[in-house]
Amino acid sequence: MDDPIRAGLLEAREALDRLLEDRETLTRIRRAADFLIETFTQGRKVFSCGNGGSMCDAMHFAEELTGRFRKDRKAYPALAVSDPSHLTCAANDFGYEQVFSRYLEALGSAGDCLIALSTSGKSPNVLSALKTARSLGMKSVALTGRKGSEMESLSDLCICTPAGTYADRVQELHIKVLHLLIETVERHFHPEHYR
């Protein structure tokens, strides 16, 4: 195909179609939403982390929970591990592999939940965050694009989006998943917004 724009959109549509047909992954998304609902019901916090575009997705996820997604409602306690002063301090003092885990060590508690994003499933600092979350008694949901990654064994629930070869398509499905999680939380706590 000579038109890269059309080709890119068709590829993205194919990735979304694969997700729609993947019943196991859809079930995992529903379970992840249940984790979040349980976390907020218990008055606990949700953390999110990732690198590069995945950090942007983690930040977007947290701000949709603390701010507004579709309609006004109570803010939900969500934090993206993205504070530049913390990241540079922890990286300088402990190494980049510890930037997320140090944050969780400081602010995370049993009953909280971590949403950890890595398109490759191999990011050392995300893997370290999952280990720390487990040691603190936090629940964890991993979002990746690679089956069989170490994230599967380190998380309570792993969502692997069937998006193909490149990180951009994986991230496109990750933001869909994150929006679905937020919408499901809102539908649970504020069903009146969806009538």
pTM above 0.85, yes or no: yes
The edge-to-edge listing of strands for the beta sheet with 113-118 is 78-80, 46-49, 113-118, 139-144, 157-160
Q: Which pLDDT tens digit goes with each residue over 41-71?
A: 999 999 999 999 999 999 999 999 999 999 9
Homologous superfamily, domain 20-186? Glucose-6-phosphate isomerase like protein; domain 1 (3.40.50.10490)
Burial grade of 143 (CB within 10 A; 0-12, 13-18, 19 or more): buried
Instruction: Report the amino acid identity of residue 181.
Output: L
Q: Which pLDDT tens digit goes with each residue over 111-145?
A: 999 999 999 999 999 999 999 999 999 999 999 99
Contact 9, 82 (CB under 8 A): no
Locate the domains of the chain by residue range.
20-186
